[in-house]
Structure 1
Amino acid sequence: MTITFSPKQLKIINAPYDHTLEVNEGTPRSSKTTAGVFRYADYLSWSRDQNHLVTAYNQEQAYRLFMECDGFGLIHIFGDLAEIKHDEHGDHLLVQTPNGEKKVYYKGGGKADSKKAITGMSLGSVAFCEIDLLHMDMIQECFRRTFAAKDRYHLADLNPPAPNHPVIKEVFEVQKMRWVHWTIDDNPIITEERKKEIYETLKKNPYLLQRDWFGNRVIPSGVIYSMFDMEKNIKQKLSGKKIEMYFSGDGGQSDATSVSCNIVTRHKGKKRAYDFKLNRVAHYYHSGKDTGNVKAMSIYAKEIKEFILWCQEKFEMRRSQVFIDPACKALREELHLLGVQTRPANNNSKDIKGNSKGIEVGIERLQSAMTNEQFLLIETNEYDHYHFIKEIGMYVRDDNGKPVDKDNHCSDEARYSNNYFYKRYVLGG
């Protein structure tokens, strides 16, 4: 197979290894990750260190982005010279190189305790996928794990974060770094016609145009849930008395299907006898558009039922309700055939509150729940919150202040779950 690289990709792949950290930052679909994978493969071919690490928000993403990479990942580059293995340190790609065997471990790094998975390991290098989504403790531990490397090397990629993102000051500005900016023009396989189509979509929103077309760091004034705090709204475990478990979902075949497991907990109140919190404890997500694997509704229903049963066993609770977007009639019917009864979710279509109506009422409720730390994400090893966290950073308003109907499947079903919580526990509590 012949691969055509852009001039920028070739420059990156062939650059000298004279920096502690190399960062590729820019727009989605700019081909920066592909260039990084080939660059990393070149490094592995001559490095004198045996153990290396690829880390992303979770292990699945680390594998998908770097090992697989749409057919251009490490497992494809090395072909018969590589195979997936497992040892006492975890899953890894064992690669045969001219300079000996290399073990490339792939692990999740988005949680506060992720660093435990690499404590005690000695690494020659680390590749950070979407470094802005990783937990800072994990990032810093990765740099410590390479202190004794013979050929120390770090590679990171990311879409442009907000200018005040901690990774800029705490990582980029303290390392000897080579920073390269990428835009969609650096991708050799995207046609001019497709670029025009993407531009026409992005130009409707100044925030998206600057971030996803020009690749600039911009203050996310247009992001609807900008008040979500990665520290205050994410907890490592449930606290309080468990009161109710219910599920909320939004679905489609080409669009993303997103279903969350929600547990309401009761806590000793400050202003009244009890306060309640809405804990998003697990998340099923699949996008036919993003993965290229469009599933039948019957398959989605089967996987969602498995997700529901897993949650019930994991948290030792029985579900009370399964709310699904009223527009997803096919998904509801398939779930009914499997014995999972559903109810239409409250999508705010009839809500009016002051000057707000419809979806805006639900958005304001969820914004308040986030601000008041009533809405929490609880970390779990399976069914994690990668897609939710990523999406709420992209769910924005257009020039007229209206929510853009894009990147909103997780946000919509989170709004549905909060509507139920609000009416039953905030108003009724």
Structure 2
Amino acid sequence: MGIVFSPKQLQIIRAPYDHTLEVNEGTPRSSKTTAGVFRYADYLATTPDQNHLVAAYNQEQAFRLFMECDGFGLIHIFGDLAKIKHDENGDHLEVHTPSGVKKVYYKGGGKVDSKKAITGMSLGSVAFCEIDLLHMDFIQECFRRTFAAKMRYHLADLNPPAPNHPVISKVFDVQKTRWVHWTIDDNPIITEERKQEIYETLIKNPYLLQRDWFGKRVIPAGVIYSMFDVKENVAQKMEGQTVEMFFAGDGGQSDATSVSCNVVTKLDGQREFRLYRVAHYYHSGAETGDVKAMSVYAKEIKEFILWCQEKTGMSRSDVYIDPACKSLREELHLLGIQTEKADNNNKDIKGSSKGLEVGIERLQNAMTSKRLVLLEQTDSEYDHYNFIKEIGIYARDKNGTPVDDNNHAMDEARYANNYFYKRYVL
């Protein structure tokens, strides 16, 4: 059976290569990435340039979104003509095309020092996956790496960012850009019944309705952790004397399972402690389409815990899991990982705040006071991609109630901070 493309997908795939940058921006599940992959495959078959780059927040995302792409990625399009290889410049897909052999490198670009991985490379093109999540220094270096290309080309996709996102003014408005807007109606394989189901879910949150249904650039009203600062709350190394390492987690099957590694430090000569979020395990069955058994999650979480212990050279004190996740706790116990019930604020009262709101206030204060810090993870699958992604959209509804969505990393971060707060801050 042949692949059925929507009119907009065909328009993108067949367009002339007459712009420096092509941007596909719109809602999730709008098929923009699939169109971009086929567009890029056509470019690779045409260009005389040999070296190219696919970039995402991390290397794993670059491979999943463009090389694999749910069975429609470059490795599937080119089939026997493509093979994963490695050379001095890194992992890449070697593709045999009518215009010669091409090397398509895939790398992460979300970190402060990501540009080091491409410095010195000469590229014909760059495909940016979720370009708004990439570090601006890396993006700008990518454009410099293609200056000498014979058929210079750049392709980017993203979900609608905030209207003031710097990628708009510093990238889209600077380049000669072809910008295409996408909505879920552009996806030829989503049925009307599924569209209605998605709409009925999104309509409960005005922000998500505007962003994920209409594909508009909007600022979510009532973002809960708007005080989080990617400069002030992120560090490349820990300060102070390490005191304790512990883990906090929230589990689900179709919902996301999120577990964080946390290290407490005591600042030299001070009675002040910091909570470093060192690493993050995260998997969403709903987002990936891969729903795992709790026994599988437990096995992967154990691997994550052991990796963190080896990486830090520290032994864990405890593993705190949401009390509602009984099956996950039991599976971990079977693997020799003993757990405690996480403090989920059920019994907390502070002034006029109760329960969840108490935990939210504490985490907000930890961010504002810079007591909560993300430790940069370089070349690791356990980075902070999903934490940062959630923190930008976890918001309140029109009644002021936290929306029970995009909050799995937010919940376990709250559990971790509850433990930290009651032991080291009170």
TM-score, normalised to structure 1, is 0.97
Give the gaps of 5 or more residues in structure 1.
none
Give how far 1:290 is off. 2.1
Residue in structure 2 matching 1:378, options 340, 360, 375: 375
Give how far 1:371 is off. 1.8
The answer to whether the 8 Å contact 2:21/2:155 transfers is yes
Match of residue 297 from structure 1? 294
Secondary structure of the residue aligned to 1:171 is: helix
Match of residue 387 from structure 2? 388
Whole-angstrom CA distance in 2 between matches of 1:212 and 1:97: 37
**Higher mean C-alpha deviation, range 227-236 or range 111-120:** 227-236
> Which aligned pairs between 1:232-247 and structure 2 lie closer than 5 A?
232-247=232-247
Residue in structure 2 matching 1:344, options 341, 344, 358: 341
Whole-angstrom CA distance in 2 between matches of 1:293 and 1:207: 27
The answer to whether the 8 Å contact 1:220/1:226 transfers is no
Secondary structure of the residue aligned to 1:376 is: strand
Secondary structure of the residue aligned to 2:264 is: strand
Give how far 1:291 is off. 2.1
Residue in structure 2 matching 1:287, options 263, 277, 284: 284
Give how far 1:426 is off. 1.4
The answer to whether the 8 Å contact 1:207/1:222 transfers is no
The answer to whether the 8 Å contact 2:221/2:396 transfers is no
Give the gaps of 5 or more residues in structure 2.
none
The answer to whether the 8 Å contact 1:324/1:343 transfers is yes
Whole-angstrom CA distance in 1 between matches of 2:32 and 2:288: 18
Give how far 1:394 is off. 2.5
Whole-angstrom CA distance in 2 between matches of 1:359 and 1:266: 28
**Higher mean C-alpha deviation, range 230-239 or range 93-102:** 230-239
Whole-angstrom CA distance in 2 between matches of 1:20 and 1:195: 34
Q: Does 1:257 align with 2:254?
A: no
Post-superposition CA distance 1:52-79 (Å, at most 9, x none): 0000000000000000001111011111
Whole-angstrom CA distance in 1 between matches of 2:421 and 2:185: 46
The answer to whether the 8 Å contact 1:249/1:413 transfers is yes
The one-letter amino acid of 2:401's match is K
The answer to whether the 8 Å contact 2:94/2:104 transfers is yes
The one-letter amino acid of 1:179's match is W
Post-superposition CA distance 1:107-129 (Å, at most 9, x none): 00010111111111000000000
The one-letter amino acid of 1:415's match is R
Whole-angstrom CA distance in 1 between matches of 2:369 and 2:220: 20
Whole-angstrom CA distance in 2 between matches of 1:10 and 1:77: 16
Secondary structure of the residue aligned to 1:322 is: strand
Give how far 1:268 is off. 4.3
The one-letter amino acid of 1:402's match is T
Whole-angstrom CA distance in 1 between matches of 2:52 and 2:222: 39
Match of residue 227 from structure 1? 227
Q: Does 1:398 align with 2:406?
A: no
Secondary structure of the residue aligned to 2:224 is: coil
Whole-angstrom CA distance in 1 between matches of 2:199 and 2:287: 19
Secondary structure of the residue aligned to 2:167 is: helix
Whole-angstrom CA distance in 2 between matches of 1:167 and 1:194: 32
TM-score, normalised to structure 2, is 0.97
**Higher mean C-alpha deviation, range 297-306 or range 206-215:** 297-306
> Which aligned pairs between 1:179-194 and structure 2 lie closer than 5 A?
179-194=179-194
Whole-angstrom CA distance in 2 between matches of 1:217 and 1:368: 28
Identity of aligned residues (%): 80
Post-superposition CA distance 1:364-411 (Å, at most 9, x none): 111111122211111123211111111222222212111111121111
The one-letter amino acid of 2:79's match is G
What RMSD over aligned residues (CA atoms) do the two structures have, in Å? 1.1
Secondary structure of the residue aligned to 1:373 is: coil
**Higher mean C-alpha deviation, range 338-347 or range 298-307:** 298-307
Secondary structure of the residue aligned to 1:174 is: coil
Q: Does 1:208 align with 2:205?
A: no
Match of residue 358 from structure 1? 355
Match of residue 411 from structure 2? 412
The answer to whether the 8 Å contact 1:24/1:157 transfers is yes
Whole-angstrom CA distance in 2 between matches of 1:178 and 1:227: 34
The answer to whether the 8 Å contact 2:241/2:268 transfers is no
Whole-angstrom CA distance in 1 between matches of 2:396 and 2:246: 29
> Which aligned pairs between 1:255-334 and structure 2 lie closer than 5 A?
255-268=255-268, 273-334=270-331
The answer to whether the 8 Å contact 2:247/2:262 transfers is yes
The answer to whether the 8 Å contact 1:204/1:399 transfers is no
Match of residue 168 from structure 1? 168
Whole-angstrom CA distance in 2 between matches of 1:215 and 1:291: 21
Whole-angstrom CA distance in 2 between matches of 1:203 and 1:255: 19
The one-letter amino acid of 2:206's match is P
Whole-angstrom CA distance in 2 between matches of 1:402 and 1:268: 40
Whole-angstrom CA distance in 2 between matches of 1:280 and 1:208: 27
The one-letter amino acid of 2:390's match is E
Whole-angstrom CA distance in 1 between matches of 2:237 and 2:9: 42
The answer to whether the 8 Å contact 2:54/2:126 transfers is yes
Q: Name the count of aligned residue pairs.
A: 424
